Amino acid sequence: MFTAVDIITTKRNGRPLTPEQLTWVVNAYTAGEVSDEQFSALAMAIYFQGLTDEELFALTTAMLKSGVTLDFSDLGKPTADKHSTGGVGDKITLPLTPLVASYGVAVPQLSGRGLGHTGGTLDKLESIPGFTVDLTETEIRDQLRSVGGVICAATAELAPADKKIYALRDVTATVDSMPLIASSIMSKKLAEGTDTLVLDVKTGTGAFMQDEDAARQLAEKMVWLGKEHGVATTAVLTRMDTPLGYTVGNAIEVEETLEVLAGGGPADVVELTLTLAQHMLAGAGIDADPAEHLANGKAMDAWRAMVTAQHGDPHAPLPIPPHEYTLVAPESGVLARLDARAVGEATWRLGAGRQVQGQSVQATAGIRLHAKPGDRITAGQALMTLYTETEDRIAAAQQPLESAIEVAETFTAPDLIIDVID
């Protein structure tokens, strides 16, 4: 018979827990038999003592099996999924899902909402008139069969242990623990039951893992966890010091997504979309250049089919913000820094994000960038435009941007993609 106190004491003292102990404590906490206070103590012990590979595997498996696991093997087509660790202007899921689906791959992209300085995929999609993100498992399965791609909220039955544990970590300063991050992400993604998983692990000022070595370690552990569970897993380590693309917000990022799907769009968004698509297609056994379906319109066709299937109108105009304010370049030279976290925080202050789960967000709030690091700028030229539905938010949004910009004589932007770990 296990007890929570014995398990906490074991980990607090730096001794490894058995798979049986970890399975018991996860199930007991999910069922309400272990208190929040007790699991908080265990999470803090893990934060300081870490987990062995055996412990990490056992914790992830217990969380994975705490609810239903999906199985799409009856669809008659390969399945692939993607996960990003979160960034600013990270709209990649939106063009990536229909692009990969246009090659006959089922892409069940179960996504989340924004919190803090990072945006949420579901918030962005809900700026499309009529778009519905809450689907049943049957609706998800039917859409994968008929359309190929779906972007929606995870069902409550999927890895419920993670939902409960994450909420606890969020208020106990244990979010930024590598083993707890890895088990959280992988329990949810493995529960989705796809054949292939591609991870976009971000590092830099706008990422949750700002240290590159820590981000690499996280990527390696998640790839290992995926393969140990029989899922072909690849991680792409990417830079998040500067926002992706030229838009940060909700409707404004959908607008940029449409540019990419039409064969244009910012170079960095296109590069990352194509890189992740290439790995997803390769995992699905498809040898193709995904750039072809951006150029010939097939990815756009898949987008319109997906939006229509989820009750959205792909031809409806996106909402327009009633208020805007333009910030200008303070001096002439080459833009050497445009801090992603500061831009993300400013966007949140404009109304695009939320402080706590459940708050509503503004569909039209956001920031449009007019230059990126490496561009030559002139004093007084437009550097970024702020959008909001609440005019008095503009002053607060400007505060984090005051120290977000640096101008130099010369600067060469570093590569977006740092490494591929497989």
Cα-trace Rg, the chain = 22
Residue 264's closest CA among 301, 291, 303?
Answer: 291
- Give Cβ neighbours of residue 33 (< 8 Å, ≥ 6 apart): none
Instruction: Compute the distance between CA of residue 99 and CA of residue 95 in angstroms, rounded to an integer.
Output: 6
Give the strand pairing for 196-203 and 232-239.
parallel
| The one catalytic residue among 127, 183, 184, 187 | 184
Structure tokens given for 49: 């003592």
83 catalytic? Reply is yes
Give the strand pairing for 333-338 and 376-377.
antiparallel
Tokens 């791609």 found at: 149
311 catalytic? Reply is no
Structure tokens given for 2: 């296990």
Return the number of other C-beta atoms located less than 10 Å from residue 308's C-beta. Answer: 15
| The one catalytic residue among 66, 81, 82, 83 | 83
| The one catalytic residue among 162, 195, 241, 268 | 162
Q: What region does 27 belong to: left with phi over 0, alpha with psi -120 to 50, or beta?
A: alpha
Residue 150's closest CA among 187, 109, 116?
Answer: 109
State the maximum Cα–Cα separation within the chain, in Å, rounded to a whole number: 71
Instruction: Compute the distance between CA of residue 303 and CA of residue 381 in angstroms, rounded to an integer.
Output: 35
Q: Write the single-letter amino acid at 151.
A: I
Instruction: Compute the distance between CA of residue 152 and CA of residue 126 in angstroms, rounded to an integer.
Output: 10
Is the distance from CB of 92 to CB of 111 less than 8 angstroms? no
* CA distance to 127, 132, 149, 185, 414, per residue, from 110 (Å): 18, 13, 11, 12, 31
DSSP assignment letter at 11:
H
323 catalytic? Reply is no
| The one catalytic residue among 188, 293, 341, 368 | 188
* Bridge partners (DSSP) listed for residue 68: 158
| The one catalytic residue among 11, 117, 169, 368 | 169
The residues assigned a catalytic role are: 83, 162, 169, 184, 188
